[in-house]
């Protein structure tokens, strides 16, 4: 019994990362225990062997394997990761509860054969209560993980730096191998659980404090708002010292000396041009959550914005030619550079569904372009061609959206709305 409690509790960190990948690993282990795997201890074999017989069927492995592969593929898309945050804490909790319940001692499994007749005895059983506790713990950890991912998505919604993608691959491996680790080293897995909870909690607290600490109170009404915001979202008072913004919308220590250029910089970093707060939606026809200002009042403002991006393109292409002379490392640096310099400013206002299709379409085109990377002379043009492909596709999509969205009067500031 003690092994059962330690094992199921140790599942929590790994179900925090994924839903179906750990389930697939667990099904593999159940198959291994059924065929007398020698690497497993007798108590572990007894626990895994207590799973329902249908969990050892081949179709269960195939189904879980397909779901795990789909989960891994979906995790490589920033848009799909953003969508998953809406439900993944609940699905992960349900998966952890289900596995803990199915691995409960055989007496509970017999009671579970007729849930209507034996419902009361099941609810009273320690194993059922423990499975609920494991599910609740998974939900708690997954919710903290979601807060951290929400911050990463807010700062870098299209994962131009590749940090979220790297974490996604890391979590895939942890979710798969972690279940094996729990079964082989249940005691040590409890240490991992404690470190996971502590790490997630400390990171969450740090991010919350960091966000609040960065805000500066209004000089007139005292309402705190982003230091890069030209005007207070509450009273509309103009700030005397406005700080500039850099890549990923990070507020710099330097002051913004050119108001017009600063307004375009705020739009490019998906911040409200009025109060500087981050915009939450992926579309042109949205309004700021603090002051209710639209990022673009009309098509003319969008045209000015696009013209500024177009003016940056020749300089970016020249830098890409130079960076392309460096093999491999230059390719990685160049992709990050043109994404942050040009593409992120276009892609951040394209709706999620359209963005997914565009992203995969551009990837296929760039895959063909990358074939010329090893070719002398032609290889140095790979990065500029990739940049131009992205630019043409995303600009055309943004202009098509503007034809539908930017008509009539867009929302103007509403003081006191936040």
Helices (H), 50-155: 58-74, 78-84, 88-102, 106-112, 119-124, 126-155
- Measured distance between the N- and C-terminal CA atoms of the chain, rounded to whole angstroms: 54
Query: Domain check: are 141 and 183 in the same one?
Result: yes
Of all helices (H) and strands (E), which one includes residue 216?
Answer: strand 216-217
Nearest alpha-carbon partner for 108 in 133, 125, 84: 125
> What is the pLDDT, as a whole number, of residue 264?
93
pLDDT digits (tens, 9 = 90+) for 146-157: 888 888 888 888
Query: Domain check: are 95 and 180 in the same one?
Result: yes
Q: Which residues of the chain have pLDDT under 70?
A: 1, 34-46, 49, 105-127, 407-418
Query: Domain check: are 205 and 221 in the same one?
Result: no
> What is the pLDDT, as a whole number, of residue 315?
95
Q: Could you tell me if residue 131 is inside a domain?
A: yes
DSSP class per residue in 323-345: HTTSSTHHHHHHHHHHIIIIIHH
DSSP class per residue in 245-299: E-GGGPEEEEE---HHHHHHHHHHTTB-TTT-PBP--SSSS---TTT---S-SSH
The tally of domains found in the chain comes to: 3
**Pair 383, 323: CB distance under 8 Å:** yes
pTM score of the predicted model: 0.74
Query: Domain check: are 207 and 240 in the same one?
Result: no
Q: Could you tell me if residue 94 is inside a domain?
A: yes
The rounded distance, in Å, linking the Cα atoms of 128 and 97 is: 9
| Domain assignment of residue 247, given as a range | 217-268
Query: Domain check: are 9 and 140 in the same one?
Result: yes
- At 217 the three-state DSSP class reads strand
> What is the pLDDT, as a whole number, of residue 113?
46
DSSP class per residue in 357-395: HHHHHHHHHHHHHHTTTTSTTGGGGHHHHHHHHHHHHHH
Give the contacts of 78 (CB within 8 A, at least 6 positions apart): 153, 157, 158, 159, 164, 359
Q: Could you tell me if residue 291 is inside a domain?
A: no
> What is the pLDDT, as a whole number, of residue 37?
52
Longest dimension (CA), the chain: 77
């Amino acid at each position: 019994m003690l092994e059962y409690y330690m094992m199921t509790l140790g599942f929590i960190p790994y179900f925090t990362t994924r839903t179906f990948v750990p389930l697939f690993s667990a099904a593999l282990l159940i198959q291994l225990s059924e065929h007398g795997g020698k690497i497993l201890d007798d108590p572990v074999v007894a626990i895994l062997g207590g799973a329902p017989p249908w969990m050892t069927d081949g179709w269960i492995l195939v189904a879980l394997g397909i779901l795990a592969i789909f989960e891994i593929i979906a995790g490589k898309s920033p848009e799909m990761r953003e969508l998953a945050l809406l439900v993944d804490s609940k699905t992960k909790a349900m998966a952890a509860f289900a596995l803990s319940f199915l691995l409960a001692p055989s007496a509970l499994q017999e009671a579970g054969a007729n849930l209507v007749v034996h419902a009361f005895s099941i609810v009273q059983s320690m194993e059922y209560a423990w499975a609920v506790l494991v599910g609740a713990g998974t939900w708690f950890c997954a919710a903290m993980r979601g807060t951290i991912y929400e911050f990463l998505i807010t700062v870098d919604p299209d994962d131009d730096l590749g940090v979220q993608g790297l974490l996604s691959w890391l979590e895939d491996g942890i979710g798969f191998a972690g279940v094996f680790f729990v079964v082989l080293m249940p005691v040590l897995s409890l240490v991992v659980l404690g470190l996971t909870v502590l790490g997630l909690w400390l990171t969450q607290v740090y991010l919350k404090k960091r966000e609040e600490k960065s805000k500066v109170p209004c000089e007139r009404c005292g309402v705190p708002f982003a230091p890069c915001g030209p005007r207070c979202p509450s009273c509309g008072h103009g700030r005397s010292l406005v700080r500039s913004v850099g890549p990923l919308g990070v507020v710099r220590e330097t002051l913004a000396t050119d108001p017009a250029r600063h307004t375009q910089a705020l739009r490019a970093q998906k911040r409200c041009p009025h109060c500087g707060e981050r915009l939450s939606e992926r579309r042109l026809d949205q309004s700021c959550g603090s002051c209710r200002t639209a990022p673009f009042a009309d098509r003319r403002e969008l045209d000015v914005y696009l013209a500024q991006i177009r003016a940056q393109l020749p300089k970016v292409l020249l830098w890409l030619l130079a960076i392309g002379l460096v093999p491999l490392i230059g390719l990685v640096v160049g992709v990050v550079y043109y994404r942050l310099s040009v593409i992120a400013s276009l892609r951040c206002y394209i709706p999620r569904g359209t963005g997914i299709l565009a992203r995969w379409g551009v990837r296929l085109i760039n895959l063909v372009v990358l074939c010329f990377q090893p070719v002398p002379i032609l290889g140095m043009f790979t990065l500029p061609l990739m940049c131009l492909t992205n630019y043409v596709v995303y600009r055309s999509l943004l202009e098509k959206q503007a034809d539908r969205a930017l008509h009539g009067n867009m929302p103007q500031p509403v003081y006191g709305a936040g």
